[in-house]
Amino acid sequence: MHIYLKIYLILFTHLFSPSEHETRCQVRNMAKENEDLEISIELIAHDFEYAFKKEMNTQIKSSLNKKNESYSLNEIKFYLKNRFSISQKGSEINLEVIGNEIKLDGTLLIYMEGNYNKRIKHLKIYNDLLVDWLPNQQNIVNLNGAIKSSFSYNKNQKSHVFQ
């Protein structure tokens, strides 16, 4: 009987704990000066909810509008503030969260923009989304534009310089 209880607890914990998926981030970077960076981050909504709740000690709530379901932009901005950044030549690029949507398949898409002043030769991206609470989390960043490259972030590798 004791062994059955252990097996049940292991299965129950596994079934109802947050899963660990890859987060994908697309950054479109232009070759000209004074252009916008276009950023989309794709992750699993329940993973985001779990990490948000653990870190902020509060539940994030979604709302439904005419087009789709989404989270509060202020709450997403607050979470991303210290978790995702892009800098160029030691100067952080101001990133603005412009929208988000929760798809029917449970995917959360976050849309951001940033503007840079000089021609892009390198970008330093810091990305530790979800890794504090989901230790096997992988965050993949793909750059498309002046710099074409990809990098996979994890709990041990949270920053990378693209050239």
pLDDT in tens, 41-56: 999 999 999 999 999 9
CA distance 5 to 122: 55
- The predicted structure's pLDDT at residue 111: 96
Closest by CA position to 27, among listed 104, 84, 92: 84
Domain count across the chain:
1
Identify whether 12 is part of a domain.
no
Identify whether 9 is part of a domain.
no
User: Quick check: 12 pLDDT over 70?
Assistant: no
Average pLDDT, the chain: 83
Q: What pTM did the predictor assign?
A: 0.82
Confidence at 40, pLDDT banded by 50, 70, 90: very high
Identify whether 143 is part of a domain.
yes
Identify whether 8 is part of a domain.
no
Identify whether 28 is part of a domain.
yes
Identify whether 154 is part of a domain.
yes
State pLDDT tens for residues 61-109: 888 876 788 999 999 999 999 999 999 888 899 999 999 999 999 999 9
CA distance 71 to 95: 18
Identify whether 57 is part of a domain.
yes
Identify whether 14 is part of a domain.
no
State the residue range of the domain holding 134: 20-162
